[in-house]
Amino acid sequence: MQMSKIKIIGSMFSCALIAMASAWSAHAADTVKIGVLVPMTGATAADGDRLLRAHKLAAKQINEQGGIKSLNGAKVELVVADTQSKPEVSRSEADRLISRSKVSALMGAWSSAVTIPALQVAERYKTPFVVTSAVTDSITEKNLKFVFRVSPKGSWAADNVMDFMAFLGDKGKPIKKVAIAYEDGPFGQGVAKGYKAKLSERGINVVAEESFRTGSADLSTQAVKLKASGADLVLIVCYVDDETVLLRAMAAQKFQPMILGFGGHVHPTLLQLGPLVENTFGIVEWMQDVKKPAAENFVAAYKAEYGDIPLSHSAQAYASTWAVALAVDKAGSADPVKVRDALATLNLPDGPASLLPEDALAFDEHGQNHVRYVIAQVIDNEFVTVWPEAVASKQVVIPE
């Protein structure tokens, strides 16, 4: 009896997939539905609107330029779902977008903790999921066949930070003692782990390590411990609201070491802190002054459409949307499996999807795009790229 039930459930799931394939085929000439998971409410809602704006801008451009040409000009239709910044909601919304809305691919979903449950659903349904911004290493280390990521791994930031610290040493600012402060989710833990490993390899002493929960209203205890460590540099790994709380707490303790933030540091909200963030550094996946034609075109289009400057995750959302559309065009089909196969062979050295700081957007056998980080600095209350020097728009200002 139990085996019969299992066979029936398996048969029902197979029938559901066949029905979805028929729907994709029937509607392919009219529209191609692409699911977008973004936090419009909840703890990380501040970033959801910027992500969605970039997705919408890319879709608008794709449609204005003739849509999906291999499907007789089919238009891209974004089907948007609010994750509410909650893993369980992200999971259920991913299921809904695939099983009911019949999307050909999913994109999203901002933080690692919210992204991971959704991509597990996509893998089960054999629907490609393009991760826009989540950087937890394990996302592309689990042999998932339908998961792709345009953003770099979090651990890669450690190599770039170590190189930047060596660069500062060459400029007369050696760093001997480092403290790490990070949010205690998958994102913060993953990046902090990479930092500790690389610092140990280079013989640099980690004098303090403080973790905290995302959304904490008071981080004064962590600030006291960071000050007591006497660190030359504090590496912060968290989202912008948490970093704002931490920096204010450190200022209250009159503790002003060098700061290098990851996650929320290069965000307009942080500039409201004024002198507290002047000359601080942030490591980020992309900056609006990256010297690439595709980046310049994106910034100009985004400003014209919305009146403000895009952030790194906006660029990733934009690149993801173009990548999915180009994969659909290459596949000549809205069938998710065929779109997945096309994504796996994409290599985009130019065009809108190439705006990130690497030679081309392309996915390896694990679905990972190999893309570097850049270092930004707050100079005269503006974020500018200062490293690597090859793509820098200004020279670094060495903090006193």
pLDDT tens digits, residue range 287-317?
Answer: 999 888 999 999 999 999 999 989 999 999 9
Cα 9 to Cα 15: distance, rounded to the nearest angstrom: 10
How far, CA to CA in Å, does 318 sit from each of 21, 101, 122?
A: 27, 22, 20
In the structure, what pLDDT confidence band is assigned to residue 26 with cuts at 50, 70 and 90? Answer: very low
Q: What is the pLDDT of residue 34?
A: 98
Q: Which class for 293: exposed (0-12), middle (13-18), buried (19 or more C-beta within 10 A)?
A: exposed
Task: Tell me the pLDDT of the chain averaged across its residues.
Answer: 91
Cα 268 to Cα 258: distance, rounded to the nearest angstrom: 19
Q: What is the pLDDT of residue 4?
A: 46
Q: Give the model confidence (pLDDT) of 306-354 as tens digits.
A: 999 899 999 999 999 999 999 999 999 999 999 999 999 999 999 999 9
* DSSP-derived 3-state class of residue 17: helix
Say what the pTM is: 0.82
Averaged pLDDT for residues 228-242: 95
Q: What is the pLDDT of residue 290?
A: 86
**C-beta of residue 243 within 8 angstroms of C-beta of residue 181:** no
Averaged pLDDT for residues 107-132: 96
Residue 358 has pLDDT above 90, yes or no: no
Beta-carbon contacts of 284 under 8 Å, excluding residues fewer than 6 positions away, are 262, 265, 266, 312, 373, 374, 375, 376
Beta-carbon contacts of 270 under 8 Å, excluding residues fewer than 6 positions away, are 240, 243, 244, 247, 264, 277, 378
C-alpha gyration radius of the chain: 22
Instruction: Return the higher-pLDDT residue of 21 and 143.
Output: 143
